[in-house]
Amino acid sequence: MLLCGDMATTKFASPVLMAKSTESSKRNNKRSIRMFKCRAAGADGGRATVGDDVFSVTTASKYEVDYLGQSTKGDLNLKLDPLHSFGNGQATLEGPIEEVARAEAQAAENLIRELGIQGPFSAQHSPRGIFCSRTLNLRSISAIGYDMDYTLMHYNVMAWEGRAYDYCMENLKNMGFPVDGLSFDPELVIRGLMIDKEKGNLVKADRFGYVKRAMHGTKMLSNKAVSDIYGRELVDLRNQSRWEFLNTFFSVSEALAYAQMVDRLDDGSISADLGILDYRGLYKAVAKALFRAHVEGQLKSEIMSKPELFVEPDPELPLALLDQKEAGKKLLLITNSDYHYTDKMMKHSFNKFLPNDMDWRDLFDMVIVSARKPEFFQMSHPLYEVVTGEGLMRPCFKAETGGLYSGGSAQMVENSLNVHGDEILYVGDHIYTDVSVSKVHLRWRTALICRELEEEYMALIGSRGHREELIELINQKEVVGDLFNQLRLALQRRSKGRPAQTLAATNLADQELTETMQKLLIVMQRLDDKIGLMLESDGELFNKRWGFLSRAGLWDKSHLMRQIEKYADIYTSRVSNFLNYTPFMYFRSQEQSLAHDSPLPNAAVEIPDAAMEN
């Protein structure tokens, strides 16, 4: 049985096909030779003996676990004998280790600077940094898998999603929906929002699931309206019949079309001939129209014919993968896109940036198309080998290194490469399909690609003065409010015929007490007016409607950020950011602050006697 695309046909292998298969085998052999040469030259720089008498690498059979719980597999070790080749053995490294570490780090930093190599810390605090939620020793990773769309390949959102929106609207029009006068506006929605299919709203929730901002159709709701609608409920993404989470850029066109159609439903523009429609039924219609745009192939055919109009090239990306491959990592491409689209787009995005006439396939130890994620990580599907450049396939039962396959499962990948669980890092842009499922079901290590981080990082820097002023105002309000509350309590106790907190408060003249409270109340009201306006504008440098991607309000994290922290070990804006970190990076998560952490660790703290006794 041979398959062409996704259609199965039962045939005997013809001489033509056999010839094509032979040609494919020859191409695979040539590719294997190029891959071997790449490994041999890259891993040792053409000098196989350099460092072998000084260093050794911790193998999978001899690794330990370090004090942060990470595997030491892949760590470079020093052989003891060559240590005597410099100075007087260990004499040059004797002394308090803190001083020795500072001195040697400074010497190494000077050398790095003289060599013109970018310092290891220069990228950490930048828009293109890699940020760590859970400590990850990249040296212990044996295989790195990559998604393709919006991961290895970044699309121009206005172009790609704009055309997806156009096709969606055309399909809606053919279904009888009024779409005249509507246009694509990507500023209307951002990643991380949720569609409330029951109420026709788009909402932004905090890490606990409380809705902080909401939009009905294309109209933002007031704080009072948000409280009235969602004050007694939390967003629960497990309720998929009601909530749809905007995981990726691919969600932009769908959410925008839905919001605009809600407006048309509310104003009565949608014909009764379409039947009785509620907001949930309207979402189904929009989703169907967009699904047809993807399935019928017109959109991808247009992109394949002119990829330069839709893809934003990244010359550094192939080089980052090349570093990882030469460091001994097994590289995998696991994408839901079909073979023809994958091959066309990867050739366009990769080949011109690779050295020595390498093809994009030479980078990967295994390529899997039409993977059907997230099911790929959860269950097993039939595996087919792509045997010709035209995309013809044949069933197979075992994947091998260097192969190109369709379908299969993550477990098949693990067994074929003999790597399992936390030996694999998977990199993708979809918080559920790529990151959450692979983490929960397989315990793979995970990395999320979120291109908006670059814009948000710069917006946060640009908003620093605004946020500092806002925090100062809120602190002033808190101080004034605490003082006012003490006087209010004194007034309350006195009005009930009881003594106030102190004798002086009990004897204070009524006029002085009420006048002081009046002044404080006026101050608080004026502070509230200014704080309210500043809070509304907080985050507008990123998005005027929804604010920052990672934040919900001034203090708290967004629901998206909570998902990222929970499921993504590391996250960054683009894959090429790995180029600044080396394939041997030890990513260490930062200290997490708690509500009871002292903001002044060096300040004297008064501890009650009762607490000391306990």
pLDDT in tens, 155-179: 999 999 999 999 999 999 999 999 9
Quickly state the pLDDT bin for 600 (edges 50, 70, 90): low
Residues 6+ apart with CB under 8 A from 282: 200, 258, 261, 262, 265
- Domain assignment of residue 515, yes or no: yes
The Cβ of residue 481 has, within 10 Å, a number of other Cβ atoms equal to 16
Residue ranges of alpha helices (H) inside 329-386 are 339-350, 375-378
Residues 6+ apart with CB under 8 A from 4: 390, 391, 392, 393
Together in a domain, 391 and 255: no
Q: Is the model's pLDDT at 54 over the cut of 60?
A: yes
Looking at the DSSP bridge assignments, the partners of residue 204 are 213
Residues 6+ apart with CB under 8 A from 191: 246, 247, 248, 249, 251, 252, 450, 452, 549, 560
Quickly state the pLDDT bin for 134 (edges 50, 70, 90): very high
Among the listed residues 363, 409, 406, the one whose alpha carbon sits nearest the alpha carbon of residue 388: 406
Alpha carbon separation from 442 to 229, 409, 414 (Å, rounded): 38, 11, 10
Residues 6+ apart with CB under 8 A from 443: 421, 422
Q: Encoding tokens for residue 266?
A: 């509310």
Q: What is the pLDDT of residues 481-518, one digit of tens each?
A: 999 999 999 999 999 999 999 999 999 999 999 999 99
Alpha carbon separation from 420 to 75, 93, 147, 412, 446 (Å, rounded): 19, 39, 18, 10, 13
Of 537, 561, 583, the residue at which a domain comes to its end is 537
Quickly state the pLDDT bin for 117 (edges 50, 70, 90): confident
Q: What is the pLDDT of residues 383-437, one digit of tens each?
A: 999 988 888 999 998 999 999 999 999 999 999 999 999 999 999 999 999 999 9
- b/e burial code for range 341-354 (CB count within 10 A of at least 16 → b): bbbbbbebbbeebb
Residue the block writes with tokens 């001994």: 328
Quickly state the pLDDT bin for 480 (edges 50, 70, 90): very high
What local confidence, expressed as pLDDT, does residue 8 receive? 35
Q: What is the pLDDT of residues 219-245, one digit of tens each?
A: 999 999 999 999 999 999 999 999 999
Q: Report the sign of the C-alpha dihedral through residues 542, 544, 549, 553, in that order.
A: positive
Of 537, 560, 593, the residue at which a domain comes to its end is 537
- Domain assignment of residue 606, yes or no: no
Among the listed residues 559, 556, 536, 555, the one whose alpha carbon sits nearest the alpha carbon of residue 546: 536
- Domain assignment of residue 525, yes or no: yes
Together in a domain, 335 and 420: yes
Together in a domain, 11 and 87: no
Average pLDDT, the chain: 87
> What is the CATH classification number for the domain harbouring 333?
3.40.50.1000
CA distance 438 to 505: 63
Quickly state the pLDDT bin for 14 (edges 50, 70, 90): very low
Average pLDDT over residues 555-577: 95
The total domain count for the chain is: 4
Together in a domain, 81 and 165: no
- Domain assignment of residue 571, yes or no: no
Together in a domain, 428 and 320: yes
Residues 324 and 583 sit within 8 Å (Cβ to Cβ): yes
Q: What is the pLDDT of residues 69-83, one digit of tens each?
A: 888 888 888 876 545
Q: What is the pLDDT of residues 518-542, one digit of tens each?
A: 999 999 999 999 999 999 888 999 9
Of 287, 307, 327, the residue at which a domain comes to its end is 307
Q: What is the pTM of this model?
A: 0.85
Q: Is the model's pLDDT at 106 over the cut of 60?
A: yes
CA distance 199 to 229: 9
Its domain, for residue 470, covers: 464-537
- Domain assignment of residue 545, yes or no: no
Together in a domain, 32 and 73: no
- Domain assignment of residue 470, yes or no: yes
What local confidence, expressed as pLDDT, does residue 168 receive? 94
Give the DSSP H/E element, type plus range, for residue 523: helix 510-537
- Domain assignment of residue 614, yes or no: no
Together in a domain, 420 and 332: yes
What local confidence, expressed as pLDDT, does residue 297 receive? 78
Q: Encoding tokens for residue 609?
A: 């006697």
Average pLDDT over residues 601-613: 54
Q: Is the model's pLDDT at 13 over the cut of 70?
A: no
Average pLDDT over residues 563-578: 96
CA distance 212 to 202: 11
What local confidence, expressed as pLDDT, does residue 31 receive? 53
- Domain assignment of residue 163, yes or no: yes
What local confidence, expressed as pLDDT, does residue 123 receive? 78
What local confidence, expressed as pLDDT, does residue 50 receive? 60
Residues 6+ apart with CB under 8 A from 577: 123, 128, 129, 130, 320
CA distance 425 to 575: 13
Together in a domain, 330 and 300: no
Q: Is the model's pLDDT at 38 over the cut of 50?
A: no
Together in a domain, 490 and 530: yes
Together in a domain, 60 and 117: yes
φ/ψ of residue 395, rounded to 5: -65, 145
Q: What is the pLDDT of residues 321-352, one digit of tens each?
A: 999 999 999 999 999 999 999 999 999 999 99
Together in a domain, 116 and 176: no
Together in a domain, 164 and 288: yes
Give the DSSP H/E element, type plus range, for residue 453: helix 452-462
